[in-house]
Amino acid sequence: MSDRCVLILLALVLSVVQVLGHLFQGPTKEVLERTYDVIIVGAGAGGGAAASRLSENPHVRVLLIEAGGSDFMNLNISVPGRASTLVRSQFDWNFTTVPQVGLDNRPIVYPRGFVLGGSTAINQMAFCRGTKDDYDRWAKVAGDEGWSWKKLVPFVRQLDRMTLPADRHNTTGEFDPSIHYNGTVPISVAGFPLTTDPRVINTTTQLPDQFPFNLDYNSGNTIGIGWTQTTIYNSHRVSSATSYLAEAWNRTNLDIVVNTRVTKVLPLGYESGKPIMRGIEIAQSASGPTHTLQARKEVVLSAGSIKTPHILMLSGIGDAAYLTSKGVKPLVDLPSVGKNLHDHAFLGNSWLVNSNDTLDNLRRNATLAAEALAQWKVNGTGPLGLAGGSQLGWLRVPNASEFFAALGAEDPSAGPTSAHFEMITTDGFVSKRVSPPTQGHFFSFITAVISPTARGNVTLNSTDPFDAPIINPNLLGTEVDVAVMREAVKAARAFVAAPAWSDYILSEFGAFGEAHTDEELDAYIRNNTDTIDHPVGTVAMGKGAEGALDSELRVRGTIGLRVVDASAFPFIPSGHTQGPTYILAERAAALILGEM
Ligand SMILES: Cc1cc2nc3c(=O)[nH]c(=O)nc-3n(C[C@H](O)[C@H](O)[C@H](O)COP(=O)(O)OP(=O)(O)OC[C@H]3O[C@@H](n4cnc5c(N)ncnc54)[C@H](O)[C@@H]3O)c2cc1C
Ligand SMILES: *[C@@H]1O[C@H](CO)[C@@H](O)[C@H](O)[C@H]1NC(C)=O
Ligand SMILES: *[C@@H]1O[C@H](CO)[C@@H](O)[C@H](O)[C@H]1NC(C)=O
Ligand SMILES: *[C@@H]1O[C@H](CO)[C@@H](O)[C@H](O)[C@H]1NC(C)=O
Ligand SMILES: *[C@@H]1O[C@H](CO)[C@@H](O)[C@H](O)[C@H]1NC(C)=O
Ligand SMILES: *[C@@H]1O[C@H](CO)[C@@H](O)[C@H](O)[C@H]1NC(C)=O
Ligand SMILES: *[C@@H]1O[C@H](CO)[C@@H](O)[C@H](O)[C@H]1NC(C)=O
Ligand SMILES: *[C@@H]1O[C@H](CO)[C@@H](O)[C@H](O)[C@H]1NC(C)=O
Ligand SMILES: *[C@@H]1O[C@H](CO)[C@@H](O)[C@H](O)[C@H]1NC(C)=O
Ligand SMILES: *[C@@H]1O[C@H](CO)[C@@H](O)[C@H](O)[C@H]1NC(C)=O
Ligand SMILES: *[C@@H]1O[C@H](CO)[C@@H](O)[C@H](O)[C@H]1NC(C)=O
Ligand SMILES: *[C@@H]1O[C@H](CO)[C@@H](O)[C@H](O)[C@H]1NC(C)=O
Ligand SMILES: *[C@@H]1O[C@H](CO)[C@@H](O)[C@H](O)[C@H]1NC(C)=O
């Protein structure tokens, strides 16, 4: 080969290396020397979806930086029935809250995903879009019709697609096919029948006034009982990494760097008196070297509801007086950063049942668990393809206006399509407070306060970015929220009193069975409630000074900085939060691309 040929070949190889999108295990020289239009911080629901949509435009060069690793196909992540092993694992940030006043001053474990996929790689996989009233409330609070349910429909269409469950059963009557399109995230209903399934569905015909059947809670109206839709495809968990990022994986204009934390956003100068926040500082460990990077167009924070406000505060963006008191030099006085933290409270309520065939067996019998795993590996069937419960319900307290007026409060829900509480069926024992009993078989309802009124905050413990922030979700922090949980427990009792359960339910188990009066119920609730892991709202969009973000998710008082994750929600949707985070990211990507 002539020298000239070698040179051309070398040039070709180099140019390919330069443009090929890549996964980097750390901030290599290549990454540090490249120029990106958009740098996204955090590869969870918001960051994964945004990176994928932005890089659909080949002219936009995107860098996605993730603190955790790249092992998003780990067996414990992929197998839906193994989700509980992920809390306090290598895929978790291992946060703990401060003592929760509403929970008898107990601190609680506060999991957050630490891997490509973020919390979508460790969550319980329930898939919800949210309701018409939830988004219409966002539109009102943000002063932007673009957040209304009607205007979001095109983004919802891009989000999910319904797929066959593992056992390939006929799913007619389990969802409404006319409202599911050909989106990026494959979902499915349960692919393993449980003996409790017909009892749950029969209850909706036996007690239709209190527990109406809802064919598809993702229609924009959640109210009623129906089949759970989950981010499970071919019996594997679907995360933002296996869906959005997998679609973008080989694009030459997307680089992904893992094992790397963004410690600060940095100002590069000023424009009309506002800092241009297109710089970031990164590090791999508290003692290791730091590097800086600059985005040409913008930096997008998608580090989630705990870490996004943390990074902003460490960068001097927050309540100026508070930051000064903590030894951080204020850059932009934005008092709402870190405030408005809210979440859904979770309570497991269990009954002993007249059966030996419940999922409790899987936890107790290692042989059975090994057989189930082997079966899952063969064709995905069996109990390990399930994400806990197969049905759930979204309900409003009866006579809502009187109920809340009696408590001196307004109805906290967004409107009639939004619930006050949720009930999730589980074919076995459930509690985050009491260890699973070694004897007995159970049916449980997880009850959850779904339109909470309590608000907490995220604050600084120190100025070390590798130190966790102080987290206070203020669960059950108001009497209203406790009263709603009480109604939820009463509804769960009414549900299993239907004829469909007469030969199945034996007795209420543990402290639940001792709680009869409202006072006893409140004591039981406060002693056993925990989180359903849906923190939101800490850098919320809103009108004027009240919003940390404007309605297009730009951090107020700055240039070139946006937030695209669940921290941007002004109110928590009355559903689980991964779907709404994806929807927010879909619109955010369109807004960003519209400015390119
Ligand atoms: C245990 C659990 C169960 C849940 N169950 C459900 C459920 O069943 N259904 C549902 O809809 N929702 C559920 N959720 C909630 C849902 O997963 C989240 O609401 C959603 O993932 C939020 O998306 P996000 O983009 O805001 O944050 P995340 O998905 O948490 O993503 C944030 C990402 O940023 C990374 N990051 C943070 N800080 C930095 C930094 N400094 N530098 C670089 N990267 C950083 C994190 O490692 C993470 O990957 C659950 C969550 C958990 C934890
Ligand atoms: C899965 O979780 C179990 C239980 O926590 C643990 O023993 C095992 O090592 C994990 N497997 C993988 C592949 O990480
Ligand atoms: C969380 O704890 C697990 C188990 O101790 C550990 O392996 C993991 O590294 C911790 N996560 C982080 C982000 O430090
Ligand atoms: C999956 O495999 C199991 C066990 O090998 C078998 O009983 C079952 O029929 C298979 N199911 C499907 C849908 O292929
Ligand atoms: C599924 O069930 C419905 C209603 O029971 C029936 O109309 C339909 O033909 C079935 N589909 C298949 C593929 O069997
Ligand atoms: C669904 O979308 C995929 C990729 O986005 C495309 O390849 C496929 O043709 C679409 N299918 C239908 C039925 O529209
Ligand atoms: C990326 O490209 C490689 C090489 O062509 C291929 O093997 C791989 O399957 C692709 N990955 C995805 C997620 O498309
Ligand atoms: C459960 O198993 C026990 C012990 O084998 C047996 O006595 C009992 O009848 C079984 N109960 C049911 C409901 O199958
Ligand atoms: C555990 O499961 C195995 C396999 O299904 C079964 O043979 C065995 O009887 C079970 N053990 C107990 C104690 O139930
Ligand atoms: C955070 O909330 C706690 C408890 O309500 C309160 O005492 C504290 O002042 C708040 N901190 C900030 C900075 O808002
Ligand atoms: C705050 O830092 C102190 C000192 O390092 C530590 O003891 C404490 O546990 C931290 N608090 C939280 C909530 O992380
Ligand atoms: C549920 O209702 C159907 C239809 O009325 C009936 O055939 C079935 O036996 C009921 N199942 C249970 C467990 O109540
Ligand atoms: C709270 O629950 C724990 C765990 O079940 C129990 O040990 C304790 O006695 C309960 N406390 C009260 C006051 O009921």
* Chain segment 140-155, per-residue pLDDT in tens: 999 999 999 999 999 9
Residue pair 209/396 in contact by the 8 Å Cβ criterion: no
Helix (H, G, I), strand (E, B) or coil at 40: strand
Distance 72 CA to ligand 4 centre (A): 26
* Chain segment 313-354, per-residue pLDDT in tens: 999 999 999 999 999 999 999 999 999 999 999 999 999 999
Distance 122 CA to ligand 2 centre (A): 13
Question: What single-letter DSSP state applies at residue 397?
Answer: P
Q: Which ligand is nearest to the CA of 97?
A: 11
The residue whose CB lies within 8 Å of the most ligand 13 atoms, and thus the one to mutate among 521, 527, 529, 530, is 527
Helix (H, G, I), strand (E, B) or coil at 31: helix
Q: Kindly list the catalytic residues.
A: 534, 576
Closest residue by Cα to residue 135 from 220, 49, 229: 220
Q: Is the CB of 533 under 6 A from ligand 1?
A: yes
Distance between CA atoms of residues 428 and 15, nearest Å: 57
Helix (H, G, I), strand (E, B) or coil at 575: coil
The residue whose CB lies within 8 Å of the most ligand 8 atoms, and thus the one to mutate among 356, 361, 505, is 356
Kindly report whether the global pTM for this prediction surpasses the value 0.85.
yes
Q: Which ligand is nearest to the CA of 248?
A: 7
pLDDT at site 52: 98
Residue pair 414/574 in contact by the 8 Å Cβ criterion: yes
Distance between CA atoms of residues 463 and 326, nearest Å: 8
pLDDT at site 545: 84
Q: Give 437-475 as a DSSP string.
A: PSS--EEEEEEEESS----BEEE-S-S-TTSPPEEE--T
Residues with Cβ within 8 Å of 459's Cβ and at least 6 positions away in sequence, in order, are 313, 322, 338, 469, 470, 472
Residue ranges of domains in the chain, CATH in brackets: 3-71+132-158+240-341+536-594 (3.50.50.60)
Q: What is the residue-level pLDDT of the chain in tens, covering all 596 positions?
A: 444 443 344 444 433 344 446 999 999 999 999 999 999 999 999 999 999 999 999 999 999 999 999 999 999 999 999 999 999 999 999 999 999 999 999 999 999 999 999 999 999 999 999 999 999 999 999 999 999 999 999 999 999 999 999 999 999 999 999 999 999 999 999 999 999 999 999 999 999 999 999 999 999 999 999 999 999 999 999 999 999 999 999 999 999 999 999 999 999 999 999 999 999 999 999 999 999 999 999 999 999 999 999 999 999 999 999 999 999 999 999 999 999 999 999 999 999 999 999 999 999 999 999 999 999 999 999 999 999 789 999 999 999 999 999 999 999 999 999 999 999 999 999 999 999 999 999 999 999 999 999 999 999 999 999 999 999 999 999 999 999 999 999 999 999 999 999 999 999 999 999 999 999 999 999 999 999 999 999 999 999 888 999 999 999 999 999 999 999 999 999 999 999 999 999 999 999 999 98
